[in-house]
Structure 1
Amino acid sequence: MTPLERLWNGWRATYVQSLGTSEVPAGEGSIFTRILASGMSDEDANIVHRGETCFVILNAFPYGTGHVLVLPYREVANLEDLDAAETAELWPTVTDAVRAIKSAYEPEGVNVGINLGRPAGGSISEHLHVHAVPRWTGDGNFMTAVANTRTLPEPLVDTAAKLRAAWPTG
Protein backbone atom coordinates (compact mmCIF):
# COMPACT_ATOMS: atom_id res chain seq x y z
CA MET A 1 0.00 0.00 0.00
CA THR A 2 1.43 3.39 -0.93
CA PRO A 3 1.39 6.15 1.67
CA LEU A 4 -1.17 8.93 1.34
CA GLU A 5 0.20 11.89 -0.58
CA ARG A 6 -0.81 15.46 0.19
CA LEU A 7 -1.36 18.23 -2.31
CA TRP A 8 -0.08 21.32 -0.51
CA ASN A 9 -0.76 24.76 -1.81
CA GLY A 10 2.11 27.24 -2.09
CA TRP A 11 1.32 28.96 1.20
CA ARG A 12 2.08 25.71 3.05
CA ALA A 13 5.76 25.67 2.12
CA THR A 14 6.62 28.66 4.31
CA TYR A 15 5.05 27.12 7.39
CA VAL A 16 6.45 23.63 6.88
CA GLN A 17 9.94 24.97 6.16
CA SER A 18 9.81 27.22 9.24
CA LEU A 19 9.63 24.12 11.44
CA GLY A 20 13.20 23.30 10.44
CA THR A 21 14.59 26.82 11.00
CA SER A 22 15.98 28.60 14.01
CA GLU A 23 12.43 29.75 14.92
CA VAL A 24 11.92 26.26 16.36
CA PRO A 25 15.10 25.36 18.20
CA ALA A 26 16.67 22.01 17.45
CA GLY A 27 17.37 19.79 20.37
CA GLU A 28 15.47 17.95 23.01
CA GLY A 29 11.76 17.51 23.08
CA SER A 30 8.86 16.99 20.75
CA ILE A 31 7.99 19.43 18.00
CA PHE A 32 5.33 20.81 20.37
CA THR A 33 7.89 21.42 23.12
CA ARG A 34 10.20 23.09 20.61
CA ILE A 35 7.39 25.31 19.27
CA LEU A 36 6.54 26.40 22.83
CA ALA A 37 10.23 27.15 23.52
CA SER A 38 10.72 28.99 20.21
CA GLY A 39 9.35 32.34 21.31
CA MET A 40 7.08 32.46 18.24
CA SER A 41 3.83 34.34 18.67
CA ASP A 42 0.65 32.30 18.91
CA GLU A 43 -0.27 33.58 15.45
CA ASP A 44 3.02 32.42 13.93
CA ALA A 45 2.84 29.06 15.71
CA ASN A 46 -0.87 28.59 14.89
CA ILE A 47 -1.75 28.22 18.56
CA VAL A 48 -5.50 28.70 18.83
CA HIS A 49 -5.96 28.75 22.61
CA ARG A 50 -3.87 28.69 25.78
CA GLY A 51 -5.13 27.49 29.15
CA GLU A 52 -3.37 27.01 32.47
CA THR A 53 -1.92 23.57 31.74
CA CYS A 54 -3.09 22.79 28.18
CA PHE A 55 -3.13 24.49 24.80
CA VAL A 56 -4.65 24.02 21.34
CA ILE A 57 -2.63 24.16 18.12
CA LEU A 58 -3.52 23.51 14.50
CA ASN A 59 -2.25 20.25 13.10
CA ALA A 60 0.58 21.14 10.69
CA PHE A 61 -0.40 18.17 8.52
CA PRO A 62 -4.19 18.19 8.86
CA TYR A 63 -6.66 15.57 7.70
CA GLY A 64 -8.94 18.47 6.86
CA THR A 65 -9.45 22.18 7.47
CA GLY A 66 -9.97 22.90 11.16
CA HIS A 67 -7.98 19.90 12.47
CA VAL A 68 -6.67 20.86 15.92
CA LEU A 69 -4.59 19.19 18.59
CA VAL A 70 -5.26 19.65 22.31
CA LEU A 71 -2.32 18.88 24.56
CA PRO A 72 -0.63 19.68 27.85
CA TYR A 73 2.29 22.09 27.85
CA ARG A 74 4.28 19.46 29.71
CA GLU A 75 5.63 16.70 27.50
CA VAL A 76 4.10 13.42 28.66
CA ALA A 77 3.41 10.30 26.64
CA ASN A 78 0.45 8.71 28.42
CA LEU A 79 -2.84 9.70 29.98
CA GLU A 80 -1.73 8.21 33.30
CA ASP A 81 1.33 10.52 33.24
CA LEU A 82 -0.85 13.65 33.42
CA ASP A 83 -1.02 15.37 36.79
CA ALA A 84 -4.37 16.24 38.39
CA ALA A 85 -4.50 19.79 36.97
CA GLU A 86 -3.68 18.60 33.42
CA THR A 87 -6.25 15.83 33.67
CA ALA A 88 -8.90 18.27 34.89
CA GLU A 89 -8.23 20.75 32.07
CA LEU A 90 -7.64 18.44 29.11
CA TRP A 91 -11.16 17.19 28.39
CA PRO A 92 -12.95 20.55 28.91
CA THR A 93 -10.43 22.02 26.46
CA VAL A 94 -11.22 19.27 23.95
CA THR A 95 -14.92 20.07 24.42
CA ASP A 96 -14.27 23.78 23.80
CA ALA A 97 -12.23 22.90 20.69
CA VAL A 98 -15.18 20.89 19.35
CA ARG A 99 -17.52 23.81 20.11
CA ALA A 100 -15.20 26.20 18.25
CA ILE A 101 -14.93 23.85 15.27
CA LYS A 102 -18.71 23.48 15.12
CA SER A 103 -19.23 27.23 15.37
CA ALA A 104 -16.56 28.17 12.82
CA TYR A 105 -17.12 25.42 10.24
CA GLU A 106 -20.56 23.87 10.83
CA PRO A 107 -19.32 20.33 10.09
CA GLU A 108 -21.70 17.41 9.91
CA GLY A 109 -19.58 15.54 12.46
CA VAL A 110 -16.31 15.67 14.39
CA ASN A 111 -13.73 12.93 15.01
CA VAL A 112 -12.02 13.13 18.42
CA GLY A 113 -9.24 10.74 19.31
CA ILE A 114 -5.89 9.98 20.91
CA ASN A 115 -3.22 7.64 19.53
CA LEU A 116 -1.20 6.46 22.54
CA GLY A 117 2.14 5.04 21.43
CA ARG A 118 3.68 4.66 18.01
CA PRO A 119 2.00 1.27 17.32
CA ALA A 120 -1.38 2.95 17.91
CA GLY A 121 -0.62 5.53 15.21
CA GLY A 122 0.96 8.21 17.39
CA SER A 123 3.31 10.12 15.09
CA ILE A 124 4.56 12.25 18.01
CA SER A 125 4.00 9.64 20.67
CA GLU A 126 6.26 11.27 23.28
CA HIS A 127 3.83 14.23 23.67
CA LEU A 128 0.22 13.20 24.25
CA HIS A 129 -2.23 15.11 22.05
CA VAL A 130 -5.94 14.80 21.33
CA HIS A 131 -7.10 15.25 17.72
CA ALA A 132 -10.35 17.06 16.92
CA VAL A 133 -11.18 16.89 13.21
CA PRO A 134 -14.30 18.36 11.56
CA ARG A 135 -15.95 15.97 9.10
CA TRP A 136 -18.45 16.27 6.27
CA THR A 137 -20.23 13.62 4.25
CA GLY A 138 -18.04 12.93 1.24
CA ASP A 139 -14.96 14.75 2.59
CA GLY A 140 -12.87 11.72 1.65
CA ASN A 141 -13.39 12.71 -1.98
CA PHE A 142 -12.06 11.34 -5.24
CA MET A 143 -8.62 12.95 -4.74
CA THR A 144 -7.95 10.57 -1.86
CA ALA A 145 -9.30 7.60 -3.81
CA VAL A 146 -7.64 8.19 -7.20
CA ALA A 147 -4.61 10.34 -6.40
CA ASN A 148 -3.87 9.26 -2.82
CA THR A 149 -3.89 12.99 -2.00
CA ARG A 150 -5.83 15.36 0.26
CA THR A 151 -6.58 18.95 -0.70
CA LEU A 152 -6.78 21.73 1.88
CA PRO A 153 -8.69 24.81 0.70
CA GLU A 154 -7.72 27.28 3.44
CA PRO A 155 -4.41 28.65 4.76
CA LEU A 156 -3.64 27.65 8.37
CA VAL A 157 -3.45 31.29 9.43
CA ASP A 158 -7.08 31.77 8.32
CA THR A 159 -8.16 28.56 10.06
CA ALA A 160 -6.49 29.66 13.31
CA ALA A 161 -8.15 33.09 13.14
CA LYS A 162 -11.60 31.53 12.61
CA LEU A 163 -11.16 29.13 15.51
CA ARG A 164 -9.83 31.85 17.85
CA ALA A 165 -12.86 34.00 17.01
CA ALA A 166 -15.20 31.05 17.65
CA TRP A 167 -13.51 29.94 20.90
CA PRO A 168 -16.07 29.71 23.73
CA THR A 169 -15.72 32.35 26.44
CA GLY A 170 -16.70 32.00 30.07
Structure 2
Amino acid sequence: MAYIQAGPEPLVEECPFCAAPAKSDEDALIVHRGTHAYVLLNLFPYNSGHLLVCPYRHIPTYDEATPEEVAEIGALTQTAMRVLRTVARCDGFNIGMNQGAVAGAGVAGHLHQHIVPRWATDANFFPIIARTKAIPQLLGDVRTAVADAWPR
Protein backbone atom coordinates (compact mmCIF):
# COMPACT_ATOMS: atom_id res chain seq x y z
CA MET A 1 0.00 0.00 0.00
CA ALA A 2 2.88 2.40 0.70
CA TYR A 3 4.00 2.11 -2.93
CA ILE A 4 0.50 2.49 -4.36
CA GLN A 5 -0.40 5.46 -2.16
CA ALA A 6 2.86 7.28 -2.96
CA GLY A 7 1.86 7.60 -6.62
CA PRO A 8 3.79 6.88 -9.79
CA GLU A 9 7.14 8.33 -8.66
CA PRO A 10 7.64 7.41 -4.98
CA LEU A 11 11.42 7.08 -5.22
CA VAL A 12 12.58 10.24 -7.00
CA GLU A 13 14.80 11.81 -4.31
CA GLU A 14 17.50 9.13 -4.13
CA CYS A 15 18.10 5.92 -6.05
CA PRO A 16 17.21 3.15 -3.58
CA PHE A 17 19.54 0.70 -5.36
CA CYS A 18 22.52 3.05 -5.01
CA ALA A 19 21.66 3.73 -1.35
CA ALA A 20 21.06 0.10 -0.32
CA PRO A 21 24.69 -1.15 -0.30
CA ALA A 22 25.69 1.57 2.21
CA LYS A 23 23.11 0.26 4.70
CA SER A 24 23.21 -2.87 6.83
CA ASP A 25 21.93 -6.01 5.16
CA GLU A 26 18.94 -6.05 7.50
CA ASP A 27 17.99 -2.41 6.89
CA ALA A 28 18.40 -2.68 3.10
CA LEU A 29 16.85 -6.19 2.92
CA ILE A 30 20.03 -7.44 1.22
CA VAL A 31 20.41 -11.22 1.18
CA HIS A 32 23.74 -11.46 -0.68
CA ARG A 33 26.52 -9.10 -1.79
CA GLY A 34 28.57 -10.10 -4.83
CA THR A 35 31.50 -8.40 -6.56
CA HIS A 36 29.54 -6.55 -9.28
CA ALA A 37 25.93 -7.06 -8.16
CA TYR A 38 23.86 -7.83 -5.09
CA VAL A 39 20.52 -9.43 -4.21
CA LEU A 40 17.81 -7.88 -2.04
CA LEU A 41 14.14 -8.31 -1.29
CA ASN A 42 11.74 -6.06 -3.14
CA LEU A 43 10.38 -3.53 -0.65
CA PHE A 44 7.07 -3.64 -2.56
CA PRO A 45 6.79 -7.38 -3.38
CA TYR A 46 4.41 -9.00 -5.84
CA ASN A 47 4.74 -12.24 -3.81
CA SER A 48 6.58 -13.36 -0.67
CA GLY A 49 10.24 -13.86 -1.49
CA HIS A 50 10.24 -11.42 -4.43
CA LEU A 51 13.96 -10.75 -4.99
CA LEU A 52 15.83 -8.18 -7.06
CA VAL A 53 19.33 -8.55 -8.52
CA CYS A 54 21.04 -5.18 -9.01
CA PRO A 55 24.45 -4.15 -10.25
CA TYR A 56 26.24 -1.76 -7.92
CA ARG A 57 26.77 0.66 -10.81
CA HIS A 58 23.93 3.05 -11.56
CA ILE A 59 23.04 2.13 -15.14
CA PRO A 60 19.53 2.21 -16.61
CA THR A 61 19.53 -0.65 -19.11
CA TYR A 62 20.92 -4.14 -19.60
CA ASP A 63 22.87 -3.21 -22.72
CA GLU A 64 25.00 -0.84 -20.63
CA ALA A 65 26.11 -3.62 -18.25
CA THR A 66 29.64 -4.93 -18.53
CA PRO A 67 30.24 -8.61 -19.35
CA GLU A 68 31.23 -9.13 -15.69
CA GLU A 69 28.00 -7.55 -14.46
CA VAL A 70 25.91 -9.62 -16.89
CA ALA A 71 27.65 -12.83 -15.79
CA GLU A 72 27.18 -12.09 -12.10
CA ILE A 73 23.54 -11.01 -12.52
CA GLY A 74 22.92 -14.33 -14.28
CA ALA A 75 24.76 -16.40 -11.67
CA LEU A 76 22.99 -14.62 -8.79
CA THR A 77 19.64 -15.18 -10.49
CA GLN A 78 20.33 -18.92 -10.73
CA THR A 79 21.40 -19.08 -7.09
CA ALA A 80 18.34 -17.07 -6.02
CA MET A 81 16.08 -19.54 -7.80
CA ARG A 82 17.74 -22.49 -6.04
CA VAL A 83 17.51 -20.77 -2.66
CA LEU A 84 13.84 -19.82 -3.14
CA ARG A 85 12.97 -23.38 -4.17
CA THR A 86 14.50 -24.57 -0.88
CA VAL A 87 13.22 -21.82 1.41
CA ALA A 88 9.82 -21.08 -0.13
CA ARG A 89 9.07 -24.38 -1.89
CA CYS A 90 7.80 -22.46 -4.92
CA ASP A 91 6.56 -24.15 -8.08
CA GLY A 92 7.92 -21.65 -10.62
CA PHE A 93 9.18 -18.11 -11.21
CA ASN A 94 8.50 -14.93 -13.10
CA ILE A 95 11.88 -13.43 -14.01
CA GLY A 96 12.34 -10.20 -15.87
CA MET A 97 13.59 -6.66 -16.25
CA ASN A 98 11.45 -3.64 -17.04
CA GLN A 99 13.68 -1.30 -19.05
CA GLY A 100 12.59 2.35 -18.73
CA ALA A 101 9.60 3.99 -17.12
CA VAL A 102 7.45 3.41 -20.21
CA ALA A 103 8.09 -0.34 -19.80
CA GLY A 104 6.96 -0.34 -16.18
CA ALA A 105 10.24 0.15 -14.31
CA GLY A 106 9.49 1.66 -10.89
CA VAL A 107 13.14 2.71 -10.60
CA ALA A 108 13.98 3.32 -14.25
CA GLY A 109 17.44 4.77 -13.66
CA HIS A 110 18.98 1.68 -12.05
CA LEU A 111 18.97 -1.72 -13.73
CA HIS A 112 17.40 -4.50 -11.67
CA GLN A 113 16.08 -7.97 -12.39
CA HIS A 114 12.97 -9.30 -10.70
CA ILE A 115 12.78 -12.88 -9.44
CA VAL A 116 9.22 -13.56 -8.32
CA PRO A 117 8.47 -16.98 -6.83
CA ARG A 118 5.16 -18.48 -7.89
CA TRP A 119 3.03 -21.28 -6.48
CA ALA A 120 0.30 -23.27 -8.17
CA THR A 121 -2.14 -21.90 -5.60
CA ASP A 122 -0.93 -18.28 -5.31
CA ALA A 123 -3.80 -16.72 -7.26
CA ASN A 124 -7.13 -16.12 -5.60
CA PHE A 125 -10.08 -13.74 -5.73
CA PHE A 126 -8.50 -10.97 -3.57
CA PRO A 127 -6.84 -8.98 -6.38
CA ILE A 128 -10.03 -8.99 -8.45
CA ILE A 129 -12.81 -8.54 -5.89
CA ALA A 130 -11.13 -6.71 -3.02
CA ARG A 131 -8.25 -5.06 -4.94
CA THR A 132 -5.97 -6.59 -2.30
CA LYS A 133 -3.07 -9.01 -2.49
CA ALA A 134 -2.19 -11.05 0.58
CA ILE A 135 1.55 -11.25 1.33
CA PRO A 136 1.76 -13.79 4.15
CA GLN A 137 5.29 -13.13 5.47
CA LEU A 138 7.07 -10.12 6.91
CA LEU A 139 9.97 -8.83 4.79
CA GLY A 140 12.47 -9.14 7.64
CA ASP A 141 11.55 -12.78 8.20
CA VAL A 142 11.87 -13.56 4.49
CA ARG A 143 15.23 -11.74 4.30
CA THR A 144 16.61 -13.78 7.19
CA ALA A 145 15.42 -17.09 5.73
CA VAL A 146 16.84 -16.36 2.27
CA ALA A 147 20.12 -14.94 3.57
CA ASP A 148 20.62 -17.92 5.90
CA ALA A 149 19.99 -20.36 3.02
CA TRP A 150 22.31 -18.55 0.57
CA PRO A 151 25.38 -20.71 -0.18
CA ARG A 152 28.60 -19.43 1.37
SS at match of 2:39: strand
CA–CA distance in structure 1, aligned partners of residues 45 and 94 of structure 2: 13
Count of paired positions: 144
Letter in 2 for 1:114: M
Q: Does 1:66 align with 2:66?
A: no
* Larger Rg belongs to: 1
Letter in 1 for 2:45: P
Q: Does 1:111 align with 2:94?
A: yes
Q: 1:127 aligns with which of 106, 110, 123?
A: 110
CA–CA distance in structure 1, aligned partners of residues 66 and 78 of structure 2: 19
Structure 1 residue 139, shift from structure 2 partner: 1.1
Stretch of structure 1 that moved more, 127-136 or 138-147 = 138-147
| 1:15-164 correspondence to structure 2 within 5 Å | 29-37=14-22, 40-164=23-147
Q: What is the TM-score normalised by the length of structure 1?
A: 0.79
The alignment-based identity, stated in percent, is 39
Q: What is the TM-score normalised by the length of structure 2?
A: 0.88
CA–CA distance in structure 2, aligned partners of residues 68 and 47 of structure 1: 9
**C-alpha contact 1:77 1:126 (8 A) present in aligned 2:** yes
CA–CA distance in structure 2, aligned partners of residues 123 and 157 of structure 1: 22
Letter in 2 for 1:134: P
SS at match of 2:133: strand
Structure 1 residue 35, shift from structure 2 partner: 2.5
Q: CA RMSD in A?
A: 1.8
SS at match of 1:71: strand
**C-alpha contact 1:99 1:168 (8 A) present in aligned 2:** no
CA–CA distance in structure 2, aligned partners of residues 142 and 62 of structure 1: 18
**Which structure 1 residue ranges, 5 or more long, are not aligned?**
1-5, 9-19, 21-25
Stretch of structure 1 that moved more, 151-160 or 82-91 = 82-91
SS at match of 1:149: coil
Letter in 2 for 1:34: A
**Which structure 2 residue ranges, 5 or more long, are not aligned?**
3-9
Structure 1 residue 31, shift from structure 2 partner: 1.4
